[in-house]
Amino acid sequence: MPITPPSYTNTAATAISIACRRPTWPGSREELLGQLVHLVEQFIRSDRIIIKPASFAEDDLRRRLIITLNMTKIVQHIWEAIRYDNAERRELVLDQDRPVRTTGDLGTWYTAKPCEYTKRSHINFCVYDSTWEATEAFQLDHHPAVVAWAKNEHLGFNIYYVYRGVVRRYYPDFIIRLTNGEHLILETKGRDDDQNKTKRAFLNEWVEAVNEDGRFGRWRWAVSFQPGDIVDIMARIEQ
């Protein structure tokens, strides 16, 4: 049975449209932008930015240099605060030509990477980028709670996110259909950092928005930080 995750391939970022301008806010967009610039200037001049080493913070020229070199971090911090605190609503933005994709749409493609036959995936082979992925794919192919699964390879399923002021694409590793009717997005990640945490924040928002919409069933997500985590993740899902 094909897995049919909703896919968003246009510029809809996380597939969610965030309406951040409240009807009660006075002024035009230009006036609001001017207020935002003033707030950013206040934030940069304030003592809320911690600069290390402390000696750089005491020298005005060094402080300004450090802030300039890390401006993308400041932009990310302010952007996320505005986005989460002032969002009015979330709306799914579907691709008008292909609002829903399925693994059945996947065409033939060729690779020199190692691969193996699958039993519960609608795609006959799973291509492995690591032994870790091979281990988890094997467990998904044999776990009693899994009806069908697919590695997210050439499927066109991506989630847009913003990191340090730059719009990027995030491709989760596995999409899984469970026996309870839910869908699970599974990511394998050995090393965690700020960028991966940002990805998960946008993934969580994507899942929440899809669940709120209700047209595509129930979704959830999980991250495996070690090859053996998949057993515990599936155990929690079955509870």
HSE, side-chain direction, 13 A CA sphere, residue 185: 25
Sign of CA dihedral 106, 13, 196, 149: negative
In a domain, 2, yes or no: no
CATH for 228: 3.40.1350
Q: Are 101 and 5 in contact (CB under 8 A)?
A: yes
Please give the residue range of the domain that contains residue 134: 92-238
| Domain closes at, from 86, 116, 132 | 86
Q: What is the pLDDT of residue 167?
A: 79
In a domain, 180, yes or no: yes
Query: Which residues, at least 6 apart from 101, have a Cβ–Cβ distance to it below 8 Å?
Result: 4, 5, 6, 7, 155, 156, 157
Place of tokens 């590695």: 151
Picking from 129, 127, 202, the residue whose alpha carbon sits closest to that of residue 168 is 202
Q: What is the pLDDT of residue 149?
A: 93
Check whether residue 96 and residue 58 sit in a common domain.
no
In a domain, 206, yes or no: yes
In a domain, 34, yes or no: yes
In total, how many domains does the chain have? 2
Q: What is the pLDDT of residue 24?
A: 61
HSE, side-chain direction, 13 A CA sphere, residue 116: 14
Q: What is the pLDDT of residue 141?
A: 92
Check whether residue 45 and residue 98 sit in a common domain.
no
Check whether residue 97 and residue 187 sit in a common domain.
yes
Check whether residue 97 and residue 205 sit in a common domain.
yes
3-state SS of the chain? CCCCCECCCCCCCCCEEEECCCCCCCCCHHHHHHHHHHHHHHHHHCCCCCCCCHHHHHCHHHHHHHHHHCHHHHHHHHHHHHHHHHCCEEEECCCCCCCECCHHHCCCCCCCCCEEECCCECCCEEECCCHHHHHHHHHHHHCCCEEEEEECCCCCCCEEEEECCEEEEECCCEEEEECCCCEEEEEECCCCCHHHHHHHHHHHHHHHHHHHHCCCCCEEEEEECCCCHHHHHHHHHHC
Check whether residue 102 and residue 209 sit in a common domain.
yes
Q: What is the pLDDT of residue 143?
A: 92
**pTM of the complete model beyond 0.75:** no
Check whether residue 185 and residue 116 sit in a common domain.
yes
pLDDT averages per 10-residue partition of the chain, 239 residues: 32 36 64 81 82 82 85 76 69 78 81 88 86 89 92 87 81 92 90 87 90 91 88 82
Q: What is the pLDDT of residue 218?
A: 94
Check whether residue 103 and residue 66 sit in a common domain.
no
| Domain closes at, from 41, 59, 86 | 86
Per-residue exposure over 99-111, b if at least 16 CB sit within 10 Å of its own CB, e if not: eebbbeebeeeee
Check whether residue 55 and residue 121 sit in a common domain.
no
Check whether residue 99 and residue 27 sit in a common domain.
no
Check whether residue 29 and residue 78 sit in a common domain.
yes
Check whether residue 229 and residue 114 sit in a common domain.
yes
